[in-house]
A and B are shown apart, each in its own frame.
Chain A
């Protein structure tokens, strides 16, 4: 009897290790025990229907296991979990398959990037995508590779762009139907950015959308005429987009124009830098765009996750996109046509006085970088950055990983393009370390601090704030039981009440969190995972 029951249990456990079809990706939230895409669902909400961890029992969360990465790089990947198996990336580009309950490693696929790889800001990776029995990873030497989920075997490996010219891939790919979509980083090296889709079976390129229009294309006129500026204008991609199956549009946030801090060589609005673009998922054709920061002088990449929701807006239901931008403004757009609905600052902003009714920022004169430097809020890392926000349909609040009180003196320097060389045209100066967290923090609050800020998307008003001491590179996860998980450079992973911001639980993880938390369940038990420092931690409520 026992043997038979055990046999049936094992059989059922094995039976659910089914292929991840594109239909399963579309219905990702119908299987809340799994985490199938970078943000947990195509809508980018990083909100889980799981509810076993509650505001009442969160205090009983305890560590289940730790995976120590053999890497001193920042651990920025969000893991996927599929039917009890976790897949993550040990920086720069090793894929690891882990038993999600025990932390035991099944296999590690080790990738050795070309020495030509030169990512600007760390040899990092933000995670894998899955379709069928195949994992997809973008690499820092600008390749896209396909790996067998069962044994880590290589299926295909294709070059996407030239690492010698400064192209790198750090983004977690997005699988839509039978295609794998990625974009290229390299905005500090004078690249011409693009988003491209590849056939999931073969790796053959299906479509490509250049984020800087070429001659004769709409938008090319926003770059200087008779100049090569557009060829080296950056507009990179390094954070995963979202997808709306109803409109068949995929939305991607686009990075800064290059050179970053010297706009003299690229007069004009510089489309589609600092924009969100809506592309037909089958063809890559542009449906609409919205530019957050025309002619950016501050490196305000718009590489944030576009968050999609349907909500009542001034008396009628609308399909909206919420976007907390590095430039310090929180936006709501109509995602069917890009119409601007709302734009309110969520941190102190001194480069623009607001957004006009057409959706264009009203720039404040005298804030562009100069040789002697100009102090601007938010600073060069922005009011927020690539760290995943979260939207909870239950609370109706949008949660932003925030750098508050944070400024930079922007200094402009001469610049000329040389292939593969840094192409930034400036030296930003700030009291807060930009990329690498310091191990100690003795700054004053007025010099910059991190926070989780909860914003009502219908008004842009802040509902509550949870203050950290140091700034944060940690994403945010919310759940259907109104628990919010996040962390930051302070080195704590914590749970808050998503309704009030009250602290429910915290754990010292001994290193900065520079990734988005995710949650999953196995055999009905809910777990929550986050990477911090160079390790991955998984927690569950004490049995």
Chain B
């Protein structure tokens, strides 16, 4: 009985060990690790992992050189004498977070990546990009698309770039456009905020909060495609990098 258990534990140990030793992380490892990172780590480290001075997790810069095994230990046990706490992750989950950190660093270090200029990006956002037509930043612009005031605290640069190049790739449930047609033919388009068996709650295209009875609607449903245009042809690579830089710096209101 004990021999079998020993073999079992050893097998699991080997599985984890080889995962670490060979850095053979799968896309699923990275995805799971990203989810854990966003839930547990971004409060202190920020979405790019660079919110703590001298540490830039997203670029693989730590206070000293750490192996993957070191990082797993730190994630689980914390660093005594620092604000880095111990966490209740098992070894496997901690390993997926390391997989995500390594993947972030690989993303950031990809060849040909351009440095962006946030000031130029801000001008492009307001001007050529016409982004305020749908988006709002610090009280300016439309509410029909997502408010971007804190987007830099929630999303990494590569994710923002992907959203601009391919807006249909991922639309969060709270950002889906919704279309309803009343029994008298009136069309209402907006963002679906909430719904139940009998009603829907929308922010319509005229910034009005609307309560609609489903029994008063002839048609209702999500709009299949994202209303956001793809910026692949509208911005060149440098402009894209500039806007991403601007968005990455949007980390909330400038509170006194």
What's the nearest-Cβ distance from chain A to residue B30, in Å?
11
The contact string, 1 if C-beta is below 8 Å from chain B, for chain A 425-448, is 001000100000000111110000
Contact A468 B196 (CB under 8 A): yes
Bound-complex Cα distance A467 to B4 (A): 50
Bound-complex Cα distance A431 to B174 (A): 13
Instruction: Write out the residue numbers on chain B whose beta carbons fall within 8 Å of the beta carbon of A440.
Output: 174, 193-194
Contact B196 A441 (CB under 8 A): yes
B28 at the interface (CB under 8 A from A): yes
Since A227-B4, A492-B196 are in contact, a sample of 13 more A-B pairs with Cβ atoms closer than 8 Å, ordered by chain A residue number, is A226-B4, A227-B5, A371-B26, A413-B93, A414-B16, A416-B8, A416-B9, A427-B32, A431-B173, A442-B176, A469-B196, A470-B196, A491-B196
What's the nearest-Cβ distance from chain B to residue A324, in Å?
21
Contact B196 A228 (CB under 8 A): no
Assess A413 versus B92: contact at CB under 8 Å? Given A442-B195, A443-B173: yes
B221's nearest neighbour on chain A, judged by CB, is: A444
Contact B197 A228 (CB under 8 A): no
Contact B5 A228 (CB under 8 A): yes
Instruction: Write out the residue numbers on chain A whose beta carbons fall within 8 Å of the beta carbon of B176.
Output: 442
Interface residues of B in 34-59 (CB under 8 A from A): none
Bound-complex Cα distance A414 to B197 (A): 41
Interface residue from A227, A413, A467 paired with B1 (Cβ < 8 Å): A227
A411, A413, A422, A444: residue with the most chain B Cβ atoms closer than 10 Å: A413
Interface residue from A224, A442, A443, A469 paired with B197 (Cβ < 8 Å): A469
A422's nearest neighbour on chain B, judged by CB, is: B90
Interface residue from A373, A442, A468 paired with B28 (Cβ < 8 Å): A373
Interface size class of A (residues with CB under 8 A): 20 to 34
Instruction: Write out the residue numbers on chain A whose beta carbons fall within 8 Å of the beta carbon of B194.
Output: 440-442
Contact B1 A414 (CB under 8 A): no
A506 at the interface (CB under 8 A from B): yes
Give the A-binding residues of B (Cβ under 8 A): 1, 4-5, 8-9, 12, 15-16, 26-28, 32, 90, 92-93, 173-174, 176, 192-198, 222
Interface residue from A224, A414, A490, A492 paired with B92 (Cβ < 8 Å): A414
A467's nearest neighbour on chain B, judged by CB, is: B197
Instruction: Write out the residue numbers on chain A whose beta carbons fall within 8 Å of the beta carbon of B174.
Output: 440, 442
A372 at the interface (CB under 8 A from B): yes
Interchain Cβ contacts under 8 Å between A and B, 22 examples: A224-B4, A226-B1, A227-B5, A228-B5, A372-B26, A372-B28, A411-B28, A413-B92, A414-B12, A416-B8, A440-B174, A440-B194, A441-B194, A441-B196, A442-B173, A442-B176, A442-B193, A442-B194, A442-B195, A468-B196, A469-B196, A506-B198
Contact B196 A490 (CB under 8 A): yes
A443's nearest neighbour on chain B, judged by CB, is: B173
Interface residues of A in 251-287 (CB under 8 A from B): 265
A contact patch SS = loop
What's the nearest-Cβ distance from chain A to residue B219, in Å?
14
Instruction: Write out the residue numbers on chain A whose beta carbons fall within 8 Å of the beta carbon of B12.
Output: 414-416
Contact B4 A414 (CB under 8 A): no
Give the B-binding residues of A (Cβ under 8 A): 224, 226-228, 265, 371-373, 411, 413-416, 422, 427, 431, 440-444, 467-470, 490-492, 506
What's the nearest-Cβ distance from chain B to residue A29, in Å?
31
Contact A469 B195 (CB under 8 A): yes
Contact A492 B26 (CB under 8 A): no
Instruction: Write out the residue numbers on chain B whose beta carbons fall within 8 Å of the beta carbon of A416.
Output: 8-9, 12
Instruction: Write out the residue numbers on chain A whose beta carbons fall within 8 Å of the beta carbon of B173.
Output: 431, 442-443
What's the nearest-Cβ distance from chain A to residue B145, in Å?
15
A491's nearest neighbour on chain B, judged by CB, is: B196
Instruction: Write out the residue numbers on chain A whose beta carbons fall within 8 Å of the beta carbon of B16.
Output: 414
Assess A468 versus B197: contact at CB under 8 Å? Given A371-B26, A416-B12, A442-B174: yes
A264's nearest neighbour on chain B, judged by CB, is: B8
A449's nearest neighbour on chain B, judged by CB, is: B197
A431's nearest neighbour on chain B, judged by CB, is: B173
Bound-complex Cα distance A492 to B26 (A): 43
Bound-complex Cα distance A469 to B194 (A): 10
What's the nearest-Cβ distance from chain A to residue B122, in Å?
31
Bound-complex Cα distance A492 to B195 (A): 12
Bound-complex Cα distance A105 to B29 (A): 53
Bound-complex Cα distance A164 to B178 (A): 49
Contact A411 B32 (CB under 8 A): yes
Instruction: Write out the residue numbers on chain A whose beta carbons fall within 8 Å of the beta carbon of B197.
Output: 467-469, 490, 492
B1's nearest neighbour on chain A, judged by CB, is: A226
Instruction: Write out the residue numbers on chain B whose beta carbons fall within 8 Å of the beta carbon of A413.
Output: 92-93
Bound-complex Cα distance A371 to B92 (A): 11
What's the nearest-Cβ distance from chain B to residue A275, in Å?
25
B15's nearest neighbour on chain A, judged by CB, is: A414
What's the nearest-Cβ distance from chain B to residue A505, in Å?
12
What's the nearest-Cβ distance from chain B to residue A259, in Å?
12
Instruction: Write out the residue numbers on chain A whose beta carbons fall within 8 Å of the beta carbon of B222.
Output: 444
Interface residue from B9, B32, B93, B192 paired with A442 (Cβ < 8 Å): B192
Bound-complex Cα distance A228 to B5 (A): 8
